[in-house]
């Protein structure tokens, strides 16, 4: 959030009260994709910021690392996103890391996992509860700083780090989608950009609702 705050401060200095934190976040997502060799897309502007804040409300619709395929599809569908869009957006997991506490159950208890991969991950994620909970592991250990289709190759090798990753390729209705993106990186990038635009337009606050926050972490 320090980067978002810095961008907001810079915008307020030259154009006060015009560009919302919501728009800055949306632009940052687009620019971050391009920075790591992913696709770019046109961002519609004009969002406004909420005058309330609720962590519980914000997290209520977020998919959990422990969720099964049907639950994931249902959550995305509630937001107007179909199963294919859910899979392509999950491809963002080719970037970033996860905490031990979110994948411990998978590497010790699940059978749809490459044995060597599980052993490797156990080295920094002990079995005992609370030991090493915050230890990090890359979601994509091969190209962790590139937004490519490696994530889908990992799933087909049964090396998905999170339970919610591997369920996308586990004999279910999204297997063919995963296989398609593994074969065609251009298709992944094109569909990812389209889905990001669609996700960025889910229930935006627009005038006269909301406000333009002066500081992103607090209402005016």
Q: Which residues are annotated as a binding site for Ca(2+)?
A: 94, 140, 143, 148
Q: Is 18 exposed, middle or buried (0-12, 13-18, 19+ CB in 10 A)?
A: exposed
**HEC sequence for 51-100:** CCCCHHHHHHCCCCCCCCHHHHHHHHHHCCCCHHHHHHHHHHHHCCEEEH
Binding residues for heme b are 93
Nearest-Å Rg of the Cα atoms of the chain is 19
Alpha-carbon distances, residue 120 vs 45, 112, 157, 180, 199 (angstroms): 44, 15, 15, 28, 35
Nearest to 41 by CA among 180, 200, 151, 186: 200
Binding residues for substrate are 63
Structure tokens at 84: 């294919």
Contact call for residues 191 and 91 (beta carbons, < 8 A)? no
């Amino acid at each position: 959030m320090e980067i978002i705050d810095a961008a907001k401060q810079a915008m307020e200095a030259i154009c006060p009260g015009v560009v919302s934190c919501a728009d800055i976040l949306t632009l940052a997502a687009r620019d971050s994709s391009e920075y790591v060799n992913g696709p770019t897309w046109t961002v519609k502007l004009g969002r406004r910021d909420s005058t309330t804040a609720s962590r519980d409300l914000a997290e209520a619709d977020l998919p959990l690392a422990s969720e099964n395929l049907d639950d994931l599809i249902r959550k995305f569908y509630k937001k107007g996103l179909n199963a294919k869009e859910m899979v392509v957006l999950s491809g963002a997991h080719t970037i970033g890391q996860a905490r031990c506490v979110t994948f411990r159950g998978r590497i010790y208890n699940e059978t749809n996992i490459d044995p060597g991969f599980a052993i490797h991950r156990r080295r920094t994620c002990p079995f005992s509860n609370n030991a090493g909970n915050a230890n990090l592991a890359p979601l994509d250990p091969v190209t962790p700083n590139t937004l490519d289709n490696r994530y889908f190759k990992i799933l087909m090798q049964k090396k998905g780090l999170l339970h919610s990753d591997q369920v996308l390729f586990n004999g279910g209705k999204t297997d063919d989608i995963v296989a398609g993106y593994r074969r065609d990186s251009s298709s992944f990038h094109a569909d990812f950009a389209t889905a990001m635009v669609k996700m960025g337009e889910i229930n935006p606050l627009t005038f006269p609702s909301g406000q333009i926050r002066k500081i992103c972490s607090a209402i005016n």
